[in-house]
Structure 1
Amino acid sequence: MGRVPPVHGRGGRTGLALVPEPRLNGAPWAKLATARGGEKRMKRWLLLALALLANLGQGETLRVGIELHDYFPYYRAVAGSPPEGYCLDLLQAFAEHEGLTLELLPQPINRLYRNLLDEQSLDLLFPDNPAWARQAKTGRHLHYSDAAAQIVDGTLVLAERRGQGLARVRQLGTVRGFTAEAWQPLLAKGGVDLVETQDIQSLIRMVARGRLDALYANPQVVRYQLGEMGLASDYLQLDQQLPLTYTSFHLSSYRHPELIRRFDRFLVEQDASVQRLKAQYGLR
């Protein structure tokens, strides 16, 4: 994993503190490290957390909800592995630049909005988008930052089925809690069944076995997961003839518009560092 590019900070030992919740089989999910470089990353996060926890009394700690999900290279927060990815390194750079202490609280997607809006136990949510979870946000005014990443969500099929059109898609898969935004008009009409699973790899296996005709996700995330599964990066391909949408990742808050303004200013002032960070993860 690439390191955060240097930024001109405003002083103080600040940054991110990892909150090891939820627990897995009675043990904190962040206790174990992955085989490939996980131990090094874990040491990095734990040393940072210990340094920060020693200084919590110096100022208010802001609680940041992140999705308990593997959407690498954008973000990954899963049981048995330290959190990583572009979004989390960007948060760390922001916290260090602004002299903030942020606690990371990985949670299931459906719980994030309840804790942000109803329980108000979260100060910030990242990533978020105004188009996501519309029902949960009804009647609530959230504050959103400028885009921290521009992404494409599209429909991926087996290479030999690319270009065969909508008629060949009857079973569409997506990750539970995600909205297949580009497919909503077609899903409303019927004729296409939406199947939800816990993760991208489950979707890939279902497409490979013929249980799904296509999956809806970010192509870069799918390519990474194909590599993790030992499959060729073009085993599944984005079909430009099928629904896709251009969307973006934002930082959001229900109660702290001033933090959103500070984040926007950080994105502008530290644009060169942000672009280098994106490049380290192969993002644009």
Structure 2
Amino acid sequence: ENVTASDTRFDATVVWMAETPLLPGKVFDFKLGSKTVSGSLNTIHSRIDVNTLEKHPAPGLESNEIGLTEINLDETVCFDSYKDNRATGSFIILDRLSNVTVGAGMIDCVQQPRRTRSESSNIIVTKEERAARYGQKPATIMFVGVSGSGKSTLAHGLERRLFDRGRVSTVLDGKTMRLGISKDLAHDAEGRAENLRRSAHIARFLNDSGVICCASFVAPNADSREHAIRVIGKDNCYIIYLNPPMEVCIQRDPSGLYAAAEGTESSNIP
């Protein structure tokens, strides 16, 4: 015999109807039967392809898309799984300002009871769980080239595009690294290689945390680049080599390296 559940959260299949994309965390009103309570869709586990029924990671839902979600309400409600009781296992989602229906859902299952702090202290969140939470495949996109080739500009531009599309990303820049963790390194081939070596471990950590890393480094030799690929993982590391005309790089000279070396025989210019 099925027993009606009483809780503030449950998993549900949601059909999104609004023109504005659904992103996790926004507060709505949820109407279950005759009761209306506020709450949010804290997690979008996946989007369902309506043609193949395959599940895909997704940071949000567009209009007319269907997703598997976790609902968190501000008050306790009574409900059933939709398969057991369609009346008490379904709900509609209302915009709190306009009171317009923006979505509808079917309760899939009851969440397991929450673990206490002591029970959950040994549970480790995996990198796969983090990737699923963000709805993306973590990777490092590394722009490499000489000073003035446009590495930082493209890395920041890529981060902006990803951010605007709801992705979780950050920039890891060689010049910024030298302000802190690589402050002790010389501005020569060996120092640049060591800067990249240290940074590769940070990029790996960011990827394991579910974050897309947009990196920018000189990467002076093949050995340092290959080491970075090994650390980050060849399936997660994409290196893009920028090779504009040298006169363009000298004209840009963002770090003043070319101006400082003018008239000298310095070998420290990448």
TM-score grouping bracket, smaller chain normalisation: under 0.3
Work out which structure has the larger RCO, using CA pairs closer than 8 Å and 6 or more positions apart in sequence.
1
The normalised TM-score by structure 1 is 0.23
The normalised TM-score by structure 2 is 0.23
Say which structure is richer in strand: 2
Looking at CA atoms only, which structure, 1 or 2, has the larger radius of gyration? 2
